[in-house]
């Protein structure tokens, strides 16, 4: 159950930014980005002559006095966690690096919001754009020229802008509108505007919006030309008298948006609120296609303020487009002055440009400004615009309320009203965008509202190394943020993260305890396992032993209390529930175990079998298995029947009913009253051997139940975490996001093996005249080599694909396999069906079917 904030002042058109992710020069994430902004860090890289020569810059260019040895660099653009997204190596190498990094940032934004698409109730949309794919031009051009039609089709899907949004939706399982946006430098804010409209129009309930731009090559400078946008010295001096341009950089930014009312009711963490936005175009009323327009910019800002219902005098800061050009800066301030004319002469508004920190990020420029401004609103700080010394005399500052922010300072709230800001982005070609932001609503949560007591923290990842990293990251975060409410952290992990196979959990009494336990990672305290893809289920274990805390738990857990009351009513017992649970006999134990089982069932855990691990355990076990009703379970003189129930039942050391538990030990019927010889817990463990069922002891009490849930989840048993938290108030909180395990995926053009080895025989010649068993072996190894080259190393002894494995389970793509069948057709001089691997998706099955087809067609390899 999420905690709901007061929402009297929430408009239906308000949109919340609930998740943010970025990779900007000098900043791997939003936390580092904020530190750079706060500290006034300029992230420009100035290259040495040696570095530039090594990067391929010609000595003639380096000798040119106009050559600028600077750039805004995004590290690691050649690295990607392809395995996490089930992308084979060959595809990852040709996939646009802009789309790779955007995909990682999209997942990070979802996790920052505590949003698991698999459990999100409504559709999630994607509105996104990327810059020019220069990687394809530099690295893949020759491959495209030499490619077959199928290979060209694969390359098109991997490198073209059109497939960004839909690839994100496919890889992350998003079902909302998937729309590519492309308006040059205003792309990301236009994406935000369209995403807001989709949310308000009911087309989706959440939306990712963002963009990516990677300059290529990154490790080189540029030639400055007077009159162009590029700075002559590697500095972007926005609004300054020495401003002569900007530096083009690389960056990626993504936000997750929800309607504010929905975000508050769901207990989401709100970074900032979008009060309104607008887009337009300059049209033809300007000097040239690439020139800015005062009229167009002023109009879009005024429209956004009107939509937001925020008068200009309520805006305390504007994040400008601010390119530091002789033409652009004066036009932009003149347009702002016109849009803010109604604010009056007494109003003062700070002005800034993130381009002084990270340069011009092209399609991602507006997203850098939006994330920067959201962070300033959250921290209530104004950060400096760098390299501003004296205003450009051509900028009409005297005609309006704007002053350039040059120092880190507090951002005071105006007369108790919320802080508000505007963000602008203007694209070459004239598409202008402006967004009006407001700080998040204040929290109504009081310290006494924070829940206390033990909590269950879940961690999962796609690989053991990632799980280790995730554990360490969470421990470090909790140590650095000891005021993090443990319930909030637990619920965010359970509901806001996709479950991966490599899992671990810890039950902790408070935040400090959790941090220390995760740091030590003692397997006894933090158990780990690789969850089964399809867990067989759970086995409920009944001890029949009284639990002293059952009566106390009855008072603290409404769901447990309801189950106890329902059981007593069904049994016709009129005893006081607390007294019944406190009796300390077999009946009180049975009642507590029965109610605990109902609680686990309510949380999604349905038993596959029930076992009595002690003599008195037959009462709850038999009832839960369906062998008799609660009335029998709670009757003092009842005896244990020999008949099995609807579920396999293990009682008195044997399974009740023949073949009740396939693969288990024992069989036959239970005898007597259950009070005779009993094999105990050890025998129960032996009885479960081979079943795959996860044993869960039915012990009421928060700690015991959390441990049972953790062990079930560890084994892959489905748990309904939404039901579990339905009566446990929480708010989503900031936690470390997925620790990507990146590898290098970079296409280095290689010579054709056939060209370098002219004596290499076609495959048909290699197979000719050999026994069929040898032909099958050679063809199998040929396919393993070809597919292995495309997929990358596999977890087999020789690193090649298992010929019996389903290729699509190994992340093979249909187009890759179609291309392989075309190549195989040439090698064998035989028309191999393009759908061969679709119909027979293992190498073994494909080879067997191919030889059968060739035999039926009378084709002999000779």
Beta bridge partners of 255: 20, 209
pLDDT of residue 447: 64
User: Which of 439, 463, 488 lies at the terminal end of a domain, its last residue?
Assistant: 439
pLDDT, position 758: 52
Residue 118: partners with Cβ closer than 8 Å, 6 or more residues away:
173, 498
pLDDT beyond 90 at 700: no
In Å, how far from its chain's centre is CA 42?
A: 29
3-state secondary structure of 817: helix
Give me the pLDDT at residue 751, please.
57
The answer to whether residues 747 and 139 touch, using CB atoms and an 8 Å cutoff, is yes
Considering the domain architecture, whether residues 110 and 174 belong to the same structural domain is answered as: yes
Q: How far apart are CA 315 and CA 336, in angstroms?
A: 12
Task: Kindly indicate the confidence band of residue 669, based on its pLDDT and cuts at 50, 70 and 90.
Answer: very low
The reply to whether 506 and 592 lie within a common domain is: no
Q: Are residues 793 and 655 in the same domain?
A: no
Query: For the chain, what is the domain count?
Result: 4
For residues 247 and 44, the answer to whether their CB atoms sit within 8 Å is yes
321 is catalytic: yes
Q: Tell me if residue 213 is catalytic.
A: no
What's the pLDDT at 755?
47
Same domain as 372, residue 261: yes
Residue 580 is part of which domain span? 538-717
159: alpha, beta or left? (left if phi > 0; alpha if psi -120 to 50): alpha
DSSP state of 416: G
Residues 657 and 580 in one domain: yes
pLDDT band of 475, cuts 50, 70, 90: very high
Q: Could you tell me if residue 319 is inside a domain?
A: yes
Percentage of residues in the chain with pLDDT exceeding 90?
A: 71
Q: How confident is the model at residue 331 (pLDDT cuts 50, 70, 90)?
A: very high
45-78 pLDDT, tens digit each = 999 999 999 999 999 999 999 999 999 999 999 9
pTM score, whole prediction: 0.91
Same-domain status, 218 and 115 = yes
The verdict on 248 and 362 lying in the same domain is yes
Q: Are residues 804 and 706 in the same domain?
A: no
Model confidence over 4-31: pLDDT tens digits?
A: 454 568 999 999 999 999 999 999 999 9
* Most confident among 121-125, 573-577, 747-751 (mean pLDDT): 121-125
Listed range (34-38, 401-405, 690-694) with the worst mean pLDDT: 690-694
pLDDT digits over 749-791, tens only?
A: 765 554 455 566 788 888 888 888 888 899 999 999 999 888 8
499-542 pLDDT per residue, tens: 999 999 999 999 999 999 999 999 999 999 999 877 789 999 99
Please give the angle made by the CA atoms of 360, 361 and 367, to the nearest 5 degrees. Answer: 115
Query: Does 405 share its domain with 485?
Result: no
Domain boundary among 530, 563, 581: 530
Single out the catalytic residue among 321, 434, 500, 502: 321
Q: Is residue 862 one of the residues assigned to a domain? A: no
From 120, 193, 213, 360, the catalytic residue: 360
Q: Are 521 and 576 within one domain?
A: no
**pLDDT for res 464:** 96
Distance between CA atoms of residues 624 and 603, nearest Å = 16
Check whether residue 162 and residue 201 sit in a common domain: yes
Residue 841 belongs to domain with CATH number: 1.10.1200.10
Find the length of the chain: 862
Q: Which of 22, 105, 185, 204 is flagged as catalytic?
A: 185
Mean pLDDT of the chain: 91
User: Is residue 745 one of the residues assigned to a domain?
Assistant: no
737 within domain boundaries:
no
> For this structure, is 360 an active site residue?
yes
Phi-psi region of 811 (alpha: psi -120 to 50; beta: other; left: phi over 0): left
Q: Tell me if 377 is assigned to some domain.
A: yes
| Residue 314 located in a structural domain | yes
Among 96-105, 216-225, 679-688, where is mean pLDDT lowest? Answer: 679-688
Same domain, 512 and 424: no
The last residue of a domain, from among 530, 546, 569: 530
Please check whether residue 729 lies inside any domain of the structure: no
CATH classification at residue 456: 3.30.70.3290
**Does a structural domain hold residue 244?**
yes
């Amino acid at each position: 159950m999420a905690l709901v904030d007061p929402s009297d002042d929430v408009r239906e058109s308000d949109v919340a930014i609930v998740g943010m992710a970025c990779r900007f020069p000098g900043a791997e994430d939003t936390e580092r980005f904020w530190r750079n902004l706060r500290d006034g860090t300029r992230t420009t890289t100035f290259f040495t002559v040696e570095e530039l020569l090594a990067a391929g810059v010609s000595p003639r260019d380096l000798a040119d006095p106009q050559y600028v040895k600077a750039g805004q660099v995004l590290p690691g653009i050649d690295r990607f966690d392809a395995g996490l997204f089930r992308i084979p190596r060959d595809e990852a190498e040709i996939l646009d690096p802009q789309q790779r990094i955007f995909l990682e940032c999209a997942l990070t934004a979802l996790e920052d919001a505590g949003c698991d698409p698999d459990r999100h109730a409504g559709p999630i949309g994607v509105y996104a754009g990327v810059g020019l794919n220069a990687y394809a031009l530099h690295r893949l051009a020759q491959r495209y020229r030499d490619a077959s039609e199928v290979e060209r089709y694969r390359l098109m899907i991997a490198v073209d802008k059109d497939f960004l949004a839909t690839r994100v939706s496919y890889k992350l399982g998003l079902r909302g509108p998937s729309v590519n946006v492309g308006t040059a430098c205003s792309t990301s804010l236009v994406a935000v505007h369209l995403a807001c409209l989709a949310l308000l129009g009911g087309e989706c309930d959440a939306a990712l919006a963002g963009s990516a731009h990677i300059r290529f090559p990154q490790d080189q400078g540029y030639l400055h030309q007077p009159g162009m946008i590029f700075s002559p010295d590697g500095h972007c001096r926005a609004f300054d008298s020495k401003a002569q341009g900007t530096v083009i950089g690389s960056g990626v930014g993504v936000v997750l948006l929800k309607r504010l009312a929905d975000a508050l009711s769901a207990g989401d963490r709100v970074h900032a609120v979008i009060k309104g936005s607008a887009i337009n175009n300059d049209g033809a009323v300007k000097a040239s296609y690439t020139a800015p327009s005062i009229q167009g910019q002023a109009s879009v800002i005024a429209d956004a303020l009107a939509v937001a219902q925020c008068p200009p005098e309520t805006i305390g800061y504007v994040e400008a487009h601010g390119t530091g050009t002789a033409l652009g800066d004066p036009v932009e301030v003149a347009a702002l002055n016109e849009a803010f004319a109604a604010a009056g002469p007494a109003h003062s508004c700070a002005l800034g440009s993130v381009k002084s920190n990270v340069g011009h990020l092209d399609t991602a420029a507006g997203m850098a400004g939006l994330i920067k401004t959201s962070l300033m609103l959250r921290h209530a700080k104004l950060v400096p615009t760098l390299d501003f010394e004296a205003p450009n005399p051509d900028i009409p500052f005297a005609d309006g309320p704007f002053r350039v922010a040059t120092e880190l300072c507090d951002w005071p709230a105006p007369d108790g009203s919320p802080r508000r800001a505007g963000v602008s982005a203007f694209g070459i070609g004239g598409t202008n965008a402006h967004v009006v932001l407001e700080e998040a609503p204040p929290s109504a949560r009081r310290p006494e509202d924070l829940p206390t007591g033990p909590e269950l923290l879940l961690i999962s990842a796609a690989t053991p190394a990632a799980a280790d990293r995730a554990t360490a990251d969470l421990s470090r975060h909790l140590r650095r943020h000891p005021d993090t409410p443990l319930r909030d952290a637990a619920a965010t992990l359970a509901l806001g993260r996709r479950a991966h196979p490599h899992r671990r959990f810890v039950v902790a009494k408070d935040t400090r305890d959790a941090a220390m336990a995760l740091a030590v990672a003692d397997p006894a305290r933090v158990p780990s396992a690789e969850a089964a893809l399809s867990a067989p289920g759970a086995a409920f274990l009944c001890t029949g032993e009284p639990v002293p805390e059952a009566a106390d738990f009855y008072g603290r857990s409404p769901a447990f209390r309801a189950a106890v009351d329902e059981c007593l009513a069904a049994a016709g017992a009129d005893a006081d529930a607390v007294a019944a649970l406190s009796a300390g006999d077999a009946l009180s134990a049975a009642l507590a175990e029965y109610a605990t089982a109902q609680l686990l069932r309510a949380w999604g855990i349905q038993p596959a079998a029930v076992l009595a691990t002690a003599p008195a355990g037959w009462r709850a076990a038999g009832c839960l298995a369906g062998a008799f009703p609660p009335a029998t379970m709670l009757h003092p003189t009842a005896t244990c029947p020999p008949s099995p129930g609807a579920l396999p039942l293990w009682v008195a050391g044997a399974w009740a009913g023949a073949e009740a538990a396939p693969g288990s030990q024992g069989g036959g019927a239970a005898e007597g009253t259950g009070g005779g010889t009993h094999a105990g817990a050890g025998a129960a463990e032996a009885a479960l051997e081979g079943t795959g069922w996860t044993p869960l002891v039915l012990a009421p009490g928060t700690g015991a139940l959390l441990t049972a849930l953790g062990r079930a989840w560890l084994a892959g048993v489905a748990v309904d975490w939404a039901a579990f938290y339905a009566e446990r108030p929480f708010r989503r909180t900031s936690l470390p996001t997925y620790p990507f395990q990146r590898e290098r995926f970079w296409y280095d053009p290689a010579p054709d093996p056939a060209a370098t080895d002219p004596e290499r025989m076609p495959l048909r010649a290699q197979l000719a005249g050999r026994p069929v068993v040898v032909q099958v072996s050679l063809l199998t190894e040929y396919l393993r080599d070809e597919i292995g080259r495309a997929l990358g190393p596999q977890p087999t002894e020789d690193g090649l694909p298992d010929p019996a494995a389903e290729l699509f389970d190994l992340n093979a793509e249909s187009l890759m396999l179609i291309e392989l069948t075309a190549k195989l057709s040439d090698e064998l001089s035989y028309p191999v069906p393009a759908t061969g691997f679709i119909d027979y998706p293992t190498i073994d099955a494909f080879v067997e079917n191919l030889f059968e087809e060739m035999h039926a067609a009378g084709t002999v390899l000779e």
